[in-house]
């Protein structure tokens, strides 16, 4: 999938920055708060797994309530703004994108909770193998979340293509790990429970990557007006 080169100009940046005032500024800051929490919770879930740390796992689970609250808060802000304003095109796209971005961020936090819960289960048994691939996958996902947040803050849609490419690498690591864990289960049935739990953890990180990719596509749409969500699927079908 290719995207046009988009060199940001000061005029364009200043014009877009000018929209972030009043209610729109509050909305933007709330989205950034959600993005920060999603990144923090996913990183904490990774640490709970690698360090076999039950306290960190429970911290992730407890923090999920705040993400749920912020998602509802953003939906309420969007509904109120649309009902009381006559927004211009960019503001309309921000309203649409904000609601979807907040949902993706909340789903990332949900994946962090799922990872934390599996971490608690894995504490009851000795480690199956050194954790190398899952932390490597997790670092890609965390980088995707940060890069998508940066693209939003910096008004830099040109950064979104790289985030989408990173998702392919996460998918590749996940498939490789599934093959390795399947071989463990075939060779030694006693490893099945631990291997399945690690497969689930990898799948949760892969899903978080999908949500980060979704966010990058929404940021691209917000600042360019172009919807690229299904370009890859369309090109395959042609």
Of residues 38 and 132, more confidence is placed in 38
pLDDT tens for 142-195 read 999 999 999 999 989 989 989 989 999 999 999 999 999 999 999 999 999 999
State the pLDDT at residue 15.
66
Dihedral over Cα of 93, 69, 146, 112: its sign: negative
Average pLDDT, the chain: 87
Q: Is pLDDT at 238 greater than 50 in this prediction?
A: no
Q: 7 CB contacts (<8 Å, ≥6 apart)? A: 158
Of the pLDDT bands very low, low, confident and very high (cuts 50, 70, 90), residue 234 is: very low
pLDDT tens for 104-146 read 999 999 999 999 999 999 998 888 888 889 999 999 999 999 9
Percent of the chain topping pLDDT 90:
65
**What is the C-alpha separation between 97 and 216, in angstroms, rounded?**
10
Residue-range domain boundaries for the chain: 17-237
The residue among 130, 139, 128, 71 whose CA lies nearest residue 105 is: 71
Query: According to CATH, what is the number of the domain 17-237?
Result: 1.20.58.220
**What is the C-alpha separation between 86 and 203, in angstroms, rounded?**
42
State the pLDDT at residue 48.
96
Predicted model pTM: 0.87
Q: Which of 36-50, 102-116, 211-225 has the lowest mean pLDDT?
A: 211-225
Decide: residue 36, CB within 10 A, 0-12 exposed, 13-18 middle, 19+ buried: middle
Of the pLDDT bands very low, low, confident and very high (cuts 50, 70, 90), residue 9 is: low
């Amino acid at each position: 999938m290719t995207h046009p080169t988009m060199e940001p100009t000061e005029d364009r940046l200043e014009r877009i920055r000018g929209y972030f005032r009043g209610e729109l500024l509050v909305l933007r800051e709330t989205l950034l708060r959600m993005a920060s929490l999603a990144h923090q919770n996913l990183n904490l879930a990774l640490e709970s797994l690698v360090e076999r740390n039950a306290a960190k796992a429970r911290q992730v689970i407890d923090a999920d309530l705040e993400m749920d609250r912020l998602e509802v808060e953003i939906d309420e802000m969007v509904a109120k703004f649309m009902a009381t304003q006559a927004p211009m095109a960019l503001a309309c796209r921000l309203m649409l994108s904000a609601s979807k971005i907040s949902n993706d961020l909340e789903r990332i936090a949900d994946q962090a909770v799922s990872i934390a819960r599996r971490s608690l289960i894995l504490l009851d048994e000795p480690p199956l193998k050194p954790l190398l691939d899952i932390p490597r996958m997790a670092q890609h996902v965390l980088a995707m979340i940060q890069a998508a947040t940066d693209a939003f803050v910096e008004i830099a849609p040109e950064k979104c293509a790289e985030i989408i490419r990173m998702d392919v690498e996460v998918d590749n690591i996940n498939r490789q790990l599934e093959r390795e864990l399947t071989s463990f289960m075939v060779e030694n049935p006693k490893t099945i429970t631990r291997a399945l739990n690690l497969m689930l953890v990898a799948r949760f990180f892969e899903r978080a990557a999908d949500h980060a990719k979704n966010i990058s596509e929404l940021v691209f749409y917000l600042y360019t007006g172009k919807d690229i969500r299904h370009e890859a699927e369309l090109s395959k079908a042609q």
